[in-house]
Structure 1
Amino acid sequence: MRLAFLGTPDFSVAALAALVEAGHEIACVYSQPPAPRGRGQALKPSPVHAFAEERGILVRTPASMRDPAEIAAFAALDLDAAVVVAFGQILPKAVLDAPRLGSFNVHASLLPRWRGAAPIQRAIMAGDAVTGVQVMRMTEGLDEGPVLSTATVRIGPSDTAATLHDRLAAAGADLIARTLPEIEAGRAVEVPQAEEGVTYAKKIRAKEARIDWGRPGAELDRKIRGLSPFPGAWFELPTEKGPVRVKALLSAVEDVDGAPGVTLDDRLLVATGEGAVRLLRVQREGRGPQDAEVFLNGTAVPAGTKLA
C-alpha cells in the first residue's frame, strides 16, 4: 500500500519500522518540527523524523496540518491510507479523508477508556489491570472513531510508564501491520465505540508530579510508577546543605504504618497516609537514575528522616 505515516515520539517508531519491514511504500513521513533538546538545547529531529531520514524516506515537519498548502501537498501524495501514531496535532477532515481508504490511528488504550494524550500514564495511575492498543478509523472527534482491531496487554504490579510503553509500542506495531491488509481487502470490521465508560487521559502536568505523602501508599505507588521516568514523581530530601529534589522512579507497597513522609528504616521505606512505600529506584537532582542501594551508598537516609 502507498502510505503516509504521521508520528513523533519513540512510541511511534516501532509502528513505522513494522510498516517498512512489511514492504509498504511510505510516500512521506510527517512529524513535529525539530525541537530544542539536551543540555545545549540544540534543535534535534524527533525520533520518527530521525528514523525516516536514516532510511531515505521523505519527511515533512509542518507547524500546522491545517495550512491550506499542507493540505494540498498531502492530497497530492495520492495515498491508499494514512497511519497516525502519536503525531501531536489535530488533523482536519480534509487530511483525514484524502487517502483512498482513509486515515487510521494506533491508540494505546482500550477505547473509549483513556482517550487523549497520556493513556499509558493514566492507566497505571488509575490502577487498571489491563490496557492495550487499538487501530481505529480517525474521525474529527478526539479518539472517537470506530475500532478495527485490538490487542490487550496486562499491567503488572511493577510496571512503569517506560516498561508498559515498550510493550504497547511493540503490540501496536504488530497490530497495524496485521490490520492494514485486512482494511485493503475489505475484511476489517469497524466497531463503534461504546457510549458508556468514556474517560480522558489528560496531558501530564508538572504540578502533578510532587508527592503528597499524606495520600494512601497504593495510590502513591501507582503515581510513582505511572510518572516514571518522565516527568518523575518527586519529593524533597533534607540535607546539610538544604533540601534536594529527588525523583522516585520505582516503588512497592508495604503494609506498615507511621507518620506520613517519615522514613521507617534506613532503606527508603516511607510512611504514607495509609501503609508505606519502599522506594526501589530514585534519581537525585543533577544525577542519573540509581537503584536505592546504590543511592544510599552515597546519601544516607536514616530512619526518622522527614521527606517533604
Structure 2
Amino acid sequence: MRLAFMGTPDFAVPALQALHAAGHEIVVVYTQPPRPAGRGKKERPSPVHVAAQELGIAVRTPLSLRRDTAEHDHFTALRLDAAVVAAYGLILPVAMLDSPAHGCLNIHASLLPRWRGAAPIQAAILAGDRESGVTIMQMDAGLDTGAMLCEGRVALTPRTTATSLHDDLAAMGARLVVETLRTIPPPRPQPEEGVTYAARLTREDGRLRWDRPADMLDRQVRAMTPWPGTFTLLAGETIKIGAVTMDPTPTTAAPGTIVDDRLLVACGNGTTLRITRLQRPGRGMMEADAFLRGQAVPTGTRFDLPQP
C-alpha cells in the first residue's frame, strides 16, 4: 500500500520498521519537530525522525496541523491508501482523516474503550488491571473514539513496569498493524460502557504519598518508570525511588516511617513496602544496600509527607 506514517517517540519506531519491511510504500513520515534535549539543550530529532532517515523516507515536521491548509492539500495530493498513526502527538483535522482511501489507522496502547487518552500504559498498571494490549483503530474526530479493527492482549503481572509494557505493546502494535493492512478487517464500534480516560502525566504524579496502601504505591512506582519517576523527601532532600517490593510485615508505625535497617517503609492501612533501588540528588540510581553503605537511614527515620 501507499502509506504515510505519523509518529514521534520510541513506541512508534517498531511499527514504522515493520511496515517498511513488509514492502509498503511509505512516501512520507510525519513527526514532531526536533526539540532541545540534554545538558547542552541541542535540538534533537525524534526517534521516529531518526528511523525514517535511516530508511531513506522523506520527513515532515509541522508544528501544528489544525489550520494548516497548505499541509492538508499536500497530504491529500499524496493519494494515500492509508495513514498509520502511532503516538504522533498532534491532532489530525478531518480534512486529513478523510483523505486516504482506507482512512487513518491508529495504534493505541490499550484495550479500547478502556484508557482512551494520553497515558494508557501507565494508567493500566496504576489501576491494577489484569491485562492490557493494543487496539488498531479507525481514527475519527473524537478522542480515541473510532471503530476498532484489530486488537491484541497481554497479561499484566505484579512485576510489570511501564518500561516493559511499553516495549511489549510497541512490538505487538507493529505486528498487528501489518496484519490489519493485509486483511482490512471490518470495523467494530467501540462499546459504550467501560470508557475510561488516561490523563497526560505530570511530575507530580510521581510523588509518593506514604499514607496510601503498599500495593497502590508499588503500582505507582512500576507505572511511573521511567517518567516521571517516583520520589519522596528525606530531611527536605528529594530521593528518587527506582524499585520497591511488597512485604507481608504489618506495622503500627506512622506512614512514611522506616521500620527496619533495610528501608522497609510503613504505608497506609498498616502495610509495608521495601525500597530496593533509590537515588540521591547528583548521584546515580543504586541498589539499597549500596545506598545504605553511603548514607545511614536509622530505624524510626520518617520520609517527609507531602502537604495536603
Aligned residue runs from structure 1 range 104-143, under 5 A? 104-143=105-144
8 Å CA contact retained: 2:205, 2:228: no
User: Please, what TM-score do these two structures have when normalized by structure 2?
Assistant: 0.94
Asked if 1:222 corresponds to 2:207, the answer is no
Supply the distance in 2 between the matched residues of 1:262 and 1:245 (Cα, whole angstroms).
16
| CA apart distance, 1:284 | 2.4
Q: CA deviation at 1:295?
A: 2.5
Q: 1:262 aligns with which of 240, 248, 257?
A: 257
Mapping of residues 34-45 of structure 1, within 5 Å = 34-45=34-45
Q: After the TM superposition, list the runs of 4 or more consecutive aligned residues in structure 1 that deviate by more than 6 angstroms.
A: none
Partner amino acid, structure 1, of 2:86: V
Deviation at 1:298, TM superposition (A): 2.4
Q: Distance in 1 between matches of 2:13 and 2:292?
A: 37
The answer to whether the 8 A contact 1:160-1:250 is kept is no
Structure 2 unaligned spans of 5+: none
SS of equivalent residue, structure 1 residue 78: coil
The answer as to 2:237 corresponding to 1:244 is: yes
Residue in 2 that maps onto 1:277: 273
Number of aligned residue pairs: give it: 300
- String of CA shifts for 1:87-127, please: whole Å, max 9, x gaps: 00111111011111111000000000000000001111111
By how many angstroms is 1:40 displaced?
A: 1.0
The question of whether the paired residues in 2 share the 8 Å contact of 1:125 and 1:223 is answered with yes
CA RMSD of aligned residues (A): 1.2
Shift of 1:247: 1.5
Return 5+ residue gaps in structure 1 as ranges.
Answer: none
Deviation per CA, 1:43-97: give whole Å up to 9, x if none.
1001101111122110000001121111111111111100000000111111011
Partner of 2:153: 152
Inter-CA distance 19–294: structure 2 relative to 1 (3 Å threshold): farther
Whether the 8 Å contact between 1:269 and 1:276 is mirrored in structure 2 is yes
Q: Is this contact kept in 1: 2:117–2:197, CA < 8 A?
A: yes
Q: Does the aligned pair in 2 maintain the 1:158–1:252 contact within 8 Å?
A: no
Please give the per-residue CA displacement for 1:208-256, whole angstroms capped at 9, x wherever unaligned: 2211111111111111111111111110123xxxx32111122222222
Task: Report how far residue 204 of structure 1 moved.
Answer: 0.8
Question: Separation in 2 of the partners of 1:80 and 1:18?
Answer: 17
Amino acid aligned to 1:232? G
Q: State the identity as a percent.
A: 54
2:296 aligned residue? 300
* C-alpha separation in 1, matches of 2:263 and 2:78: 57
